[in-house]
A and B are shown apart, each in its own frame.
Chain A
Amino acid sequence: MRGFLLNRLLQSLVLLVIVSIIGFGILNLLPGGPLAQFGLDPGMTQQDIERLKGLLGLDRPIWIQYLDWAWRLVRGDWGHSFRDGAPVLDVIGSHLFATLLLMGSSTVIAISIGAWIGIRGATRRYSLFDYLATVGAMVALSVPTFWFGLVGIYVFSLKLGWLPAGNMSEIGDASILGYLHHLILPSIVLSLVHVAIWSRYMRTATLDAISQDFVKTARAKGLSERRILMKHVVGNALLPMITLAGMQLPSVLTGALVTETVFTWPGMGRLFLDSLGYSDYPVVMGLLMFSAILVLLGNLIADIVVAIVDPRIRLA
C-alpha cells in the first residue's frame, strides 16, 4: 500500500513536469511573446520593451527561463501578475473559493442524481424510466453547457425572475442564503452533463453487479430485494465510480470555465480567460500548474479512497 502510494506520487510528479514544460513552451511560442500587449501601446518605444525584457529576464534562452521559473515555483514564488503586480498565488487564492464551491456543489448534484438515475435504470431495465433516462442523457451530453446556461438565465432569471442571472452575491450581501441563491443555477447547469455521464456509468456498473454470483447468493439467503440492492449491489457498483469521479475532475474544471463565463462567476475559470486576454502569462502559467496539481491530486485521492474502501486492495 505504501509502495503503491509512493509510486503514484512519483508518477504524478513526472506528469507535472511534463505539463509545465508543454505549457511553458506553448505560451512562449505564441506570436509576440509575453510582452505582445506593450507593442500596441504608443507610449512604449522599442527600447522600452527591450529594457523591460532584460528586466524580466525574457532575453535569456527559453530553457533557462523555464528552469528559473520552475525553481521559483518549487520554492513557492509563483511570480507576479503583469496586470497589477500581485503575487500569482494570491490572485489564484482569491478566486479559488468561488470555483471550488461551484465544482463541489455541482459534483454533489451530479453524483447523487446521476447515481440514483443509474441504479433505478438498471433495476427497471427497459422500462419507460430507463428509456427516458437514456434519451435525456444523450440530450444532456450533446447540447453544449453554455447553451443550457443561456436558456437557464432566459427562463429562470429573465422570464420567471426566480434566480439571479449572474455573479456570486449581491453587493453588500454576504449571507449564506444569498450565496446559495446565486449558486443554484450555475451549479445545476454545470452538473447537467455530469449527471448524464454518471447515470450511464452507474447503470452499467449496477447491471454488472446485479449479475454477479454473490447477488444470487444473497437471494438464496432470503434477503429482501431492498437489502440486496443497498448492501450488495450498490456498494460493489460504486467502487469503479470512485475512480470515475477522479477522472471526471478535469472535465468539471473545464466545464466550470465555461459556466463561470456565462454566469460572470468570479472564479478561476473567469480569471483564466481574463488573464489570457491581458497576456498575463505568470497568472496563466500559475493557473495551468494549479489545475494540473488539482487534477493529479484528485486522481491520487480517488486511488487512495478505492484502496481504503476495497478490502482486496487495503489488506493485500
Chain B
Amino acid sequence: MIASIQAVAPHDVALSVRDLTVNLPQGMERTHAVKDISFDLKRGQILCIIGESGSGKSVTANAIMGLLPKVIRLSSGVIQLEGMNIVGMSPDKLRNLRGRVVSMIFQDPLSALNPLMTVGAQIDEVMAAHGFGTPQTCRNRAIELLTEVGLPDPELMYYQYPFRLSGGQRQRVMIAMALALEPTVLIADEPTTALDVTTQAQILQLIRDIQRRKGMSVMFITHDFGVVAEIADSVVVMEKGHVVEQGSAEQVLKSPKHPYTQRLIAAVPHLTGEDRPRPEAASNEPILKVEGLVKTYRGGSALFGAQRTVTAVNEVSFELAPGRTLGVVGESGSGKSSLGRLLIKLLDSDGGGILFEGCDIAKLSEAKFRPLRPRIQMIFQDPFASLNPRSTVGHIMTVGPLAHGMPYVQARDEARALLAHVGLDAGAFGRYPHEFSGGQRQRIGIARALMFKPKLLIADEAVSALDVSIQAQILQLLDQIQRETGVSMVFITHDLRVASQICDEIAVMQTGRIVERGPPSQIFLNPQAAYTRQLVAAIPGERPGNAGPVAANA
C-alpha cells in the first residue's frame, strides 16, 4: 500500500499526534484547550493520558474522534491514524473511520446508551452504519460480542433494554459495541470513573484482556494514578493543556521528573493501614450511639399492584467517641448515604435508635429536634450544587445561625473568621459561589457547617467530586479542624483509600448492613469479612501495605 510507505509514523505506531493545538472560544479562562501536544500510541499498547479536570485530556480524545463541539476549533497539528492525517479530513471520511478504525467508550455508562433501543439493536447499528453484514450475520456477531465481553446469557441480553442492566453491564455493552468492527484504536474516556470499585476492577481486567487478545491499541484517559498503575504501558501527563511528562508507566510512576507529576503522585491517597493516634484525655462516653437502625423504602402503589420494599439500612449499630472519625464505606446501593441522612434526620428512620449525647433523636419530632439541629451538621458531595448560586457566601453562612437567634454582627464576624480559618480571604464573604473553584466551594461548605460549632459532622462523599491534589488539601483541613475543635465525624465515602487517610474506625456496608467494623489496620491489612477482602483487593494500583502504586505488569 502506497499510503503506508509514505506514512510519517513508523509501522509500530497506531496513532501519532504531533503539535496538536485546539483553541477555545474567546472569553474562556485559557485561549487553548490543548497546545502543541505530541505523543505516540504504539501498536498493541495501552497509553494512559492522565490529568486533572481542565487538563485537556478529553478534548484530545474528541479531537482524535473528530467529535469536537462546533465552537472549539482544531487550529494546527497532525493526527496520524493508520498512516492517514485526519486533521482537515471531510466530515464524511471521518464518519467512515469512527466505529470502524477508531472506537470510543465513555465515562457514564448509564447515559451513554439509548434508553429506547435494545442492546442488540445498538450493537447492530455500528455494523449497519458501515455496511457490514446482513441483519442475520449482524445479530450473530452481536451475540458473539456480548459473549466476549462476559455478559451473562448473551442471547437474552441481545433483546434487553439498557435500563435492565447494571452500570458495569452497560459498560460491557459499550465495549462490545466499540469492538464490533475490530478497530485499530480504542479510546476509553474515564470508562471506570463512574463505577464501583469492584466493578471497576472487572472492567479494567476486561479491557486489558481484550487488548492483549486482539493486539489492540488503547488510549485510556483517566485522572486516577491507581488505574494507571493497573493498566498502562506508557503514560502521558497533562496539565492545563500541555503535556508535561511522558514515558513508560514504570518510569513515570516510579521516578517522575516533572514537579507537577511529582505533586500529583504525592497527592494520590494510599492505603495507609496505619491507625490514627488516639487523642489524649479522650472521654470514653460516646457522643453518638446508633442501635439497630432500620430504614425501608417502599415503592409502587400501596393500593394496587405489588408493593416493592427495599431495606436500605438494616439493623445498623455503632458508637462514635468525641473527636473521632468513623468511616462508612461501601459501593453504590449499600445504604451508606441513607445512613448519613438518617443521622441528620433528613430521613425518618423506621426502627432503632440514634442516641446523640444520650438523647434518642430518632424518635424526636421535627419541632423537638430543631434546637439540636445546629449540633449535627452535614458537608455535601457536590460543591457546585450544594451552594445556592443566588446567595452570597456571607448569606449562605449566616442564614442558619440568624434563624437560630444569633445577632447579625456576631454572625458576620464569626463567618469572616471561619472563612479565613478554612483558607479563604475574608473578602469571600460578599462574593457569590460561582466565583470560586470546586475546592474553594468545598471549603465554604465546611465553613458553613462549622458556623454552628457542631459536635458532629456528617461528610457525605465530601471529597469525591474533587481532583486529587484538592482532595488531599480538603482532607488535611478536615483533620486540622477535628484536632482543633474536637468535633466527631462520620465520613461517608466509596473510596477506601480516602477513608484510610482520615478515619479512626471504618464500617464496611453491604446491602444495608455493616459487614465489618474496625480500625484501618484491621480493615486493610487483615480484613475479616469476605466482602471487605474483595473490596480491598479491587482498589486499583494498591497492594495492601505497600507505600506506593505498583506497576501491574511488573
Residues of A within 8 A of B (CB): 1-4, 6-7, 10, 212-214, 216-224, 227, 231-232, 235-236, 239, 309-312, 315-316
* Shortest distance from the beta carbon of B180 to any chain A beta carbon, whole Å: 8
Interface status of B238 (Cβ within 8 A of chain A): no
Interface status of B244 (Cβ within 8 A of chain A): no
Nearest 7 CB-CB pairings of A with B: A3-B305, A222-B99, A3-B304, A222-B98, A213-B111, A311-B161, A220-B104
Collect the chain B residues with CB atoms within 8 Å of residue A236's CB: 114-116
Asked if A3 meets B114 with Cβ closer than 8 Å, knowing A227-B129, A315-B164, the reply is no
Could you give, for residues 112-155 of chain B, a 1 whenever the CB lies within 8 Å of some chain A CB and a 0 otherwise? 11111100000001100110000000000000000000000000
List 5 contacting pairs A-B, 8 Å CB cutoff, sorted by A: A212-B111, A216-B112, A222-B98, A222-B130, A315-B163
Instruction: Please tell me if the beta carbons of B116 and A310 are within 8 angstroms of each other in the complex.
Output: yes
Collect the chain B residues with CB atoms within 8 Å of residue A223's CB: 95, 99, 125, 129
Instruction: Please tell me if the beta carbons of A2 and B115 are within 8 angstroms of each other in the complex.
Output: no
Given contacts A213-B112, A222-B96, A222-B129, 11 further A-B contacts (CB under 8 A): A2-B305, A3-B300, A216-B67, A217-B112, A231-B114, A231-B117, A232-B114, A239-B116, A311-B115, A311-B161, A312-B163
Residue of chain B at shortest CB distance from A238: B116
* Shortest distance from the beta carbon of A33 to any chain B beta carbon, whole Å: 40
Residue of chain B at shortest CB distance from A309: B116
Interface status of B477 (Cβ within 8 A of chain A): no
Collect the chain A residues with CB atoms within 8 Å of residue B106's CB: 213, 216-217, 220
Interface status of B367 (Cβ within 8 A of chain A): no
Instruction: Please tell me if the beta carbons of A220 and B164 are within 8 angstroms of each other in the complex.
Output: no
Could you give, for residues 234-261 of chain B, a 1 whenever the CB lies within 8 Å of some chain A CB and a 0 otherwise? 0000000000000000000000000000
Collect the chain B residues with CB atoms within 8 Å of residue A6's CB: 303-305
Instruction: Please tell me if the beta carbons of B100 and A315 are within 8 angstroms of each other in the complex.
Output: no
* Shortest distance from the beta carbon of B115 to any chain A beta carbon, whole Å: 6
Question: Which chain B residues numbered 82 to 121 have a C-beta less than 8 Å away from chain A?
Answer: 95-100, 103-104, 106, 108, 111-117
Interface contacts (Cβ under 8 Å), in number, total 99
Collect the chain A residues with CB atoms within 8 Å of residue B104's CB: 220
* Shortest distance from the beta carbon of A92 to any chain B beta carbon, whole Å: 32
Question: Which chain B residues numbered 163 to 178 have a C-beta less than 8 Å away from chain A?
Answer: 163-164, 174, 177-178
* Shortest distance from the beta carbon of A107 to any chain B beta carbon, whole Å: 23
Collect the chain B residues with CB atoms within 8 Å of residue A312's CB: 115, 161, 163
- The interface size of chain B toward A, counting residues with CB under 8 Å, comes to 35
* Shortest distance from the beta carbon of B448 to any chain A beta carbon, whole Å: 32
Residue from B65, B99, B300 with most neighbouring chain A CB atoms (10 Å):
B99
CA distance A232 to B111 in the complex (A): 13
Instruction: Please tell me if the beta carbons of B99 and A220 are within 8 angstroms of each other in the complex.
Output: yes
Asked if A315 meets B304 with Cβ closer than 8 Å, knowing A222-B129, A235-B116, the reply is no
Out of B97, B174, B301, name the residue touching A217 (CB < 8 Å). Answer: B174
Collect the chain B residues with CB atoms within 8 Å of residue A231's CB: 114, 117, 125
CA distance A4 to B65 in the complex (A): 44
Residue of chain B at shortest CB distance from A232: B114
Asked if A221 meets B126 with Cβ closer than 8 Å, knowing A3-B300, A311-B161, the reply is yes
Out of B95, B115, B161, B304, name the residue touching A222 (CB < 8 Å). Answer: B95
Instruction: Please tell me if the beta carbons of A224 and B95 are within 8 angstroms of each other in the complex.
Output: yes
* Shortest distance from the beta carbon of A237 to any chain B beta carbon, whole Å: 11
* Shortest distance from the beta carbon of A224 to any chain B beta carbon, whole Å: 7
CA distance A213 to B105 in the complex (A): 11
Collect the chain A residues with CB atoms within 8 Å of residue B65's CB: 219-220
Interface status of B306 (Cβ within 8 A of chain A): yes
Collect the chain A residues with CB atoms within 8 Å of residue B116's CB: 235-236, 239, 309-311
Could you give, for residues 40-81 of chain B, a 1 whenever the CB lies within 8 Å of some chain A CB and a 0 otherwise? 000000000000000000000000010100000000000000
Collect the chain B residues with CB atoms within 8 Å of residue A3's CB: 300-301, 303-306
Asked if A2 meets B129 with Cβ closer than 8 Å, knowing A213-B108, A222-B100, A312-B161, the reply is no
Collect the chain B residues with CB atoms within 8 Å of residue A310's CB: 115-116
Asked if A220 meets B304 with Cβ closer than 8 Å, knowing A232-B114, A236-B114, A236-B115, the reply is no
Instruction: Please tell me if the beta carbons of B129 and A214 are within 8 angstroms of each other in the complex.
Output: no
CA distance A310 to B96 in the complex (A): 31
CA distance A18 to B99 in the complex (A): 57
Collect the chain B residues with CB atoms within 8 Å of residue A232's CB: 114, 117
Instruction: Please tell me if the beta carbons of B301 and A221 are within 8 angstroms of each other in the complex.
Output: no
CA distance A79 to B96 in the complex (A): 70
Residue of chain A at shortest CB distance from B109: A213
* Shortest distance from the beta carbon of B116 to any chain A beta carbon, whole Å: 5
Instruction: Please tell me if the beta carbons of A219 and B130 are within 8 angstroms of each other in the complex.
Output: no
* Shortest distance from the beta carbon of B399 to any chain A beta carbon, whole Å: 33
Collect the chain A residues with CB atoms within 8 Å of residue B96's CB: 222
Collect the chain B residues with CB atoms within 8 Å of residue A316's CB: 163
CA distance A187 to B113 in the complex (A): 40
Residue of chain A at shortest CB distance from B66: A219
Residue from A3, A6, A227 with most neighbouring chain B CB atoms (10 Å):
A3
Collect the chain A residues with CB atoms within 8 Å of residue B164's CB: 315
Instruction: Please tell me if the beta carbons of B113 and A217 are within 8 angstroms of each other in the complex.
Output: yes
Residue of chain A at shortest CB distance from B67: A219
Instruction: Please tell me if the beta carbons of A7 and B177 are within 8 angstroms of each other in the complex.
Output: no
Out of B100, B112, B304, name the residue touching A214 (CB < 8 Å). Answer: B112
CA distance A2 to B111 in the complex (A): 28
Residue of chain A at shortest CB distance from B121: A231
Residue of chain B at shortest CB distance from A9: B304
CA distance A10 to B304 in the complex (A): 11
CA distance A232 to B100 in the complex (A): 20
Residue from B97, B114, B174, B303 with most neighbouring chain A CB atoms (10 Å):
B114
* Shortest distance from the beta carbon of B529 to any chain A beta carbon, whole Å: 33
Residue from A2, A7, A214, A316 with most neighbouring chain B CB atoms (10 Å):
A214
* Shortest distance from the beta carbon of B439 to any chain A beta carbon, whole Å: 26
Collect the chain A residues with CB atoms within 8 Å of residue B115's CB: 214, 236, 310-312
Collect the chain A residues with CB atoms within 8 Å of residue B303's CB: 3, 6-7, 10
Out of B103, B108, B111, B306, name the residue touching A220 (CB < 8 Å). Answer: B103
Instruction: Please tell me if the beta carbons of B111 and A222 are within 8 angstroms of each other in the complex.
Output: no
* Shortest distance from the beta carbon of B112 to any chain A beta carbon, whole Å: 5
Collect the chain A residues with CB atoms within 8 Å of residue B103's CB: 220-221
* Shortest distance from the beta carbon of B135 to any chain A beta carbon, whole Å: 15
Residue of chain B at shortest CB distance from A5: B304
CA distance A23 to B208 in the complex (A): 70
Collect the chain A residues with CB atoms within 8 Å of residue B97's CB: 222
CA distance A214 to B125 in the complex (A): 13
Instruction: Please tell me if the beta carbons of A224 and B111 are within 8 angstroms of each other in the complex.
Output: no
* Shortest distance from the beta carbon of A181 to any chain B beta carbon, whole Å: 40
CA distance A7 to B164 in the complex (A): 25
CA distance A223 to B114 in the complex (A): 14
Asked if A214 meets B111 with Cβ closer than 8 Å, knowing A222-B97, A312-B161, the reply is yes
CA distance A212 to B162 in the complex (A): 15
CA distance A310 to B178 in the complex (A): 25
